[in-house]
């Protein structure tokens, strides 16, 4: 099977952890251990989040800005996204390479993704990036830097526009790498957001594309057999956190969409899974990184497909 695995932010950095290279490597190692279990007999494409990493680079850029005598502009989000794709891809390649046979090739591709500058998302920033702050600190930074901020759990974070992905520019190189037997890491952080200027030139733009929606587009364009959205919960639940919560095992996309999921957390994952299932007739799964092997075997996670009727609970 050709499988696209979208790693959630927890695969790289857990909430509250210091953003050290060692912490990120240890988390990537855990992810690599799980993904390596499904390598045999499958073609693997790995996408990943990058919100905390982009936020850290932005903070480092701000520190430099404050230090130099002649103030310079901070690096824009598209450039920061490109930097993190290389860093995270390096860690994934190395940790996967330590687990799989030595002759397995790997490739990390800088991935540009086209967006529409007229997308309504630019008028309503919603995508969390960077570290969490206490309310007072977040409000101070927002006033100082012109950020938009929103509450994330009991903390606050910066939010930026999250336009819909339209096209993945490096799609053909991804296909070529797969044909040569490579494990491919691409579309990191939802891809580098780019758009065509009025004169037809391609340029970056200040935004962050949702990683799961981009992974869904990637999986469809690659004619993947399965999309796995790996997160920190073992399934999608109704009435999450309440005494009557129930885990969903299988669902038809329309029935799944009819349920109410938070826009800031599970919502984009649900939309991405439904979109893949509706447009391909294949299976998308939302589940725990620790259950990757069982997910691919059809025994874990929440499975979404037009082949299913209604909703089945565990």
Active-site position among 8, 10, 55, 287 = 10
Active-site position among 55, 190, 269, 301 = 269
Distance CA 112, CA 308 (A): 34
Respond yes or no: is residue 269 known to be catalytic: yes
Summarised one tens digit per residue, pLDDT across range 8-18 is: 876 787 777 88
Radius of gyration of the chain (CA): 19
**3-class SS shares of the chain: helix, strand, coil, % to 5:** 40, 25, 35
Task: Give pTM, 2 decimals.
Answer: 0.90
Helix (H, G, I), strand (E, B) or coil at 90: helix
Active-site position among 8, 49, 127, 130 = 127
What is the band of 66 on the pLDDT scale with cuts at 50, 70, 90?
A: low
Which domains, from first to last, does the chain contain? 2-114+167-313 (3.40.1160.10)
Active-site position among 27, 130, 190, 211 = 211
On the question of pLDDT at 255 being above 90, the answer is yes
Respond yes or no: is residue 189 known to be catalytic: no
- Least confident range from 49-63, 195-209, 219-233, 247-261: namely 49-63
Summarised one tens digit per residue, pLDDT across range 145-188 is: 888 999 988 999 889 899 999 999 999 999 999 999 999 999 99
Respond yes or no: is residue 145 known to be catalytic: no
Q: Could you identify the residue written with the tokens 């957390």?
A: 265
Respond yes or no: is residue 10 known to be catalytic: yes
Mean pLDDT, the chain, rounded, equals 90
């Amino acid at each position: 099977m050709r499988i696209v695995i979208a790693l959630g932010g927890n695969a790289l950095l857990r909430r509250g952890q210091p953003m050290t290279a060692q912490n990120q490597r240890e988390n990537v190692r855990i992810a690599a251990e799980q993904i390596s279990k499904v390598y045999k007999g499958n073609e693997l494409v790995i996408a990943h989040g990058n919100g905390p990493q982009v936020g850290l680079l932005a903070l480092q850029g701000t520190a430099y800005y404050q230090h130099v005598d002649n103030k310079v502009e901070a690096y824009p989000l598209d450039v920061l996204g490109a930097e993190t794709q290389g860093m995270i891809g390096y860690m994934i390649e190395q940790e996967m390479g330590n687990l799989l046979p030595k002759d397995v090739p790997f490739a990390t591709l800088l991935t540009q993704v086209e967006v529409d500058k007229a997308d309504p998302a630019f008028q309503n920033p919603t995508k969390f990036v960077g570290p969490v702050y206490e309310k007072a600190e977040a409000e101070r930074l927002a006033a100082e830097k012109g950020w938009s901020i929103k509450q994330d759990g009991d903390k606050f974070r910066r939010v930026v526009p999250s336009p819909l992905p339209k096209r993945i520019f490096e799609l053909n190189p991804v296909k070529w790498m797969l044909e040569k037997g490579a494990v491919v890491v691409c579309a990191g952080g939802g891809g580098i957001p780019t758009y065509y200027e009025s004169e037809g030139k391609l340029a970056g733009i200040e935004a962050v594309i949702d990683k799961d929606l981009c992974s869904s587009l990637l999986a469809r364009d690659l004619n993947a057999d399965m999309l796995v959205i790996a997160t920190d919960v073992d399934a999608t639940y109704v009435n999450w956190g309440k005494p009557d919560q129930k885990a969903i095992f299988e669902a038809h996309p329309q029935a799944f969409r009819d349920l109410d999921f938070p826009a800031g957390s599970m919502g984009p994952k649900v939309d991405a899974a439904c979109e893949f299932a509706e447009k391909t007739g294949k299976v998308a799964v939302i589940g725990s990184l620790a259950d990757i092997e069982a997910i691919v075997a059809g025994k874990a996670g929440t499975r979404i497909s037009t082949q299913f009727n209604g909703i089945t609970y565990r």
